[in-house]
Amino acid sequence: MFIDVHMHAALDGIDSKAYRALLMQDEATARKMLKKTFQAYKSRGILAVRDGGDNLDLFRLARQVAEEENVLYRSPIFAIYK
């Protein structure tokens, strides 16, 4: 089992502004995007992640989706330092 100790559920590493806009559309869209993210982690053997936090209140939904995907998810809730 691997652990990613620094991930950001609200960023995609390609076009974060567009990605964040999609996350904010509605809960169903955000849920689908987060599910895809956690499934990608699982496919690589990463079963625990620590999110760096965000200002979208995404952590609540991310925690639910991670639990559904059997991924351990931890977050300080808000970004600690920017």
| % of the chain exceeding 90 in pLDDT | 80
Tell me the backbone φ, ψ of residue 43, rounded to 5 degrees.
Answer: -65, -20
Report pTM.
0.88
Are the beta carbons of 48 and 72 closer than 8 angstroms? yes
Domain borders along the chain are 2-74
pLDDT at residue 50 greater than cutoff 90: yes
Residue 70 corresponds to which tokens in the numbers above? 């059997």
Arch. (CATH architecture) of 2-74: 3-Layer(aba) Sandwich (3.40)
The pLDDT of residue 79 is above 90? no
Q: Please compute Rg for the chain using Cα positions.
A: 12
Segment 33-43, tens digit of pLDDT: 999 999 999 99
